[in-house]
Every structure is written in structure tokens, then in C-alpha cells.
């Protein structure tokens, strides 16, 4: 099966600019996750979708971050305006069925964002 | 927070040696997962162990879970240069009726030929 696809792989922007990331999960996977991974740390969940509904966005900085999952398939994550502290790798993952912690998550290779 | 904490932060060994990484967590869990991340790549799932299990094997990997000590270990036997990667444990946390994974900071493993 094809894996989780993410684009772009790299993005460099200046602070206060906006940026968007795209994710295509594994076909048929109901649950989609966006993680932020700062250098030297583990991934931190930003938002979790079940089909096209938000399950958890408690750690999403909603004043600048937004995400949507149209038709329960692809998803985009947007940052506007970006801050220096947003420099990180943004990982998308998906899992089948109802998600949660009792099944593996499948990760894309991420988008490395650098803020100048 | 139920975040797992890996120990050691970094580990350097020779090919053929065994590598052991430990994970400690703070509160009760339903299950614990281990992932590997090669440089510049996404995470790859290795093993999921449930709270009622004590040990699981997958090829050269052995994971143990001690719920009384709130700890888990990942053993890689007969390591290879290709095992060089960061290894993360992830524990589950209940939030709003759903469980989510909380990842530790990882152990960076370097296997030298």
C-alpha cells in the first residue's frame, strides 16, 4: 500500500509570513494526525481528525494555526503568521478505524519548516 | 502528563552488540508503543505492547513491560549499522473520550561498523 504522502518536504519562510502543508493519508484510514517535532524532541500532537471531524486540537495554537480535512481524506495545516518558535518538522500520520492509542500510526516523512 | 521518558538519551555501540533502551512513564497505561525514526524521515512503528502483556518479540527486537515499575525496555540484538536511528516510546493518554499518544524525547542510537 502507498504510504502517507506529505508536501513540501522543505520550506523556508520569514517570520510573520504564512505557510501551508499538505497531507494525503493511507487510503481508507479514518484517523489523521498532525504532529510538531522540534529538533531533539519527540513528536507533539497538534490535531487529530476522525474522518473530517476534529477529535482533539487541545495543543493547536489556534491564534495562528489552522487545519482542515476536506471530505475526510486529504488535510492541510496552515500557519499564519509564523513565528521563529514554529521552526520544526511537521509530521502527518494516519491510522485505520477509530484511531486512538491501541493501533499503530503510519507516518509521512514530514515537512521541515525553517523560519528566518 | 503521561509522557514517556527514554534513557539513555544517546547510545553508541559496535555492530554485533546488543542495544537496550528504557522508557519510564508516570501514570497507568492501556498500551505502549515503540517507534524508530531514521534521520530526515518519519516514524516507523516497531511494536505495540498491551498493559496485560509482559514481553513481545519481533525479529531482533524484544520489548518488555513492567507496569508495577511503570517502565518498558526495547532490546535490539546483534545490532547492525542500519539500526542507527532515534527510538521513541509512546504511551496513551485519555482526553475527551479519545486516547492519544504521548511521545518521549527519544534515544539516539549510533551503531558503528
Chain B residues in contact with A45 by the CB 8 A cut-off are 100-102
> What is the Cα–Cα distance from A73 to A8, expressed in whole angstroms?
18
Return the pLDDT at A52: 83
* 3-state SS assignment for residue B38: coil
Minimum mean pLDDT range among A62-76, B13-27, B83-97: B83-97
Give CA–CA dist A79/B89, Å, rounded: 28
Q: What is the pLDDT of residues A53-67, one digit of tens each?
A: 998 999 999 999 999
Instruction: Give yes or no for residue B110 having a pLDDT over 80.
Output: yes
Q: What per-residue confidence (pLDDT) applies to A107?
A: 98
* Band of pLDDT at residue B100, cut at 50, 70 and 90: confident
Given this model, what pLDDT does residue A10 score?
Answer: 97
Cell numbers 518558535: residue: A85
Choose the weakest-confidence range: A44-53, B37-46, B53-62, B77-86.
A44-53
Residues whose CB is less than 8 angstroms from the CB of residue A43 and which lie 6 or more positions away in sequence, other chains included? A35, A36, A37, A91, B43, B88, B103
- pLDDT-flagged residues of chain A (< 50): none
Q: B44-69: string of b/e by CB count within 10 Å (b at 16+)? A: ebbbbbeeeeeebeeeebbbbbeeee
pLDDT, position A4: 97
B21: enclosing H helix or E strand: strand B19-24
Contact B33 A101 (CB under 8 A): yes
Compare A95 and B98 and report the one with higher pLDDT. Answer: A95
Residue B66 has pLDDT above 60, yes or no: yes
User: Which residues are CB-neighbours of B113 under 8 A, at least 6 positions away?
Assistant: B15, B81
Which residues are registered as beta bridge partners of B13? B111
Q: Are A93 and B42 a contacting pair at CB < 8 A?
A: yes
More confident site: B50 or B100: B50
- Of residues B30, B40, B42, nearest to A101 (C-beta): B30
User: According to the model, what pLDDT value does residue B42 have?
Assistant: 97
Residue B36's pLDDT is 98
Mean pLDDT across B102-106: 93
The answer to whether B1 contacts chain A (CB < 8 Å) is no
Contact criterion met (CB below 8 Å) for B55 and B47: no
Give B-chain residues touching A60 at CB under 8 angstroms: none
pLDDT tier at B95, thresholds 50, 70, 90: low
Name the residue among B40, B91, B98 with its Cβ closest to that of A55.
B98
Amino acid at each position: 500500500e502507498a504510504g502517507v504522502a506529505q508536501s513540501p518536504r522543505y520550506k523556508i519562510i520569514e517570520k510573520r509570513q504564512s505557510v501551508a502543508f499538505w497531507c494525503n493519508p493511507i487510503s481508507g484510514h479514518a484517523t489523521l494526525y498532525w504532529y510538531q517535532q522540534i529538533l531533539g524532541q519527540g513528536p507533539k500532537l497538534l490535531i487529530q481528525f476522525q474522518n473530517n471531524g476534529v477529535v482533539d486540537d487541545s495543543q493547536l495554537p489556534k491564534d495562528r494555526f489552522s487545519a482542515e480535512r476536506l471530505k475526510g481524506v486529504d488535510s492541510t495545516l496552515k500557519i499564519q503568521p509564523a513565528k521563529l518558535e514554529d521552526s520544526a518538522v511537521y509530521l502527518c500520520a494516519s491510522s485505520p478505524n477509530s484511531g486512538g492509542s491501541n493501533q499503530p500510526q503510519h507516518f509521512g516523512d514530514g515537512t521541515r519548516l525553517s523560519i528566518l | 502528563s503521561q509522557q514517556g521518558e527514554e534513557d539513555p538519551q544517546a547510545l553508541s555501540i559496535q555492530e554485533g552488540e546488543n542495544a537496550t533502551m528504557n522508557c519510564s512513564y508516570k501514570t497507568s497505561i492501556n498500551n505502549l508503543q515503540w517507534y524508530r525514526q531514521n534521520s530526515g524521515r518519519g516514524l516507523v512503528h516497531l511494536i505495540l505492547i498491551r498493559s496485560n502483556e509482559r514481553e513481545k518479540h519481533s525479529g531482533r527486537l524484544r520489548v518488555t513491560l513492567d507496569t508495577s515499575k511503570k517502565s518498558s525496555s526495547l532490546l535490539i540484538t546483534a545490532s547492525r549499522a542500519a539500526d542507527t536511528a532515534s527510538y521513541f516510546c509512546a504511551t496513551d493518554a485519555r482526553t475527551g473520550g479519545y486516547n492519544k499518544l504521548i511521545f518521549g524525547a527519544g534515544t539516539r542510537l549510533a551503531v558503528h561498523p
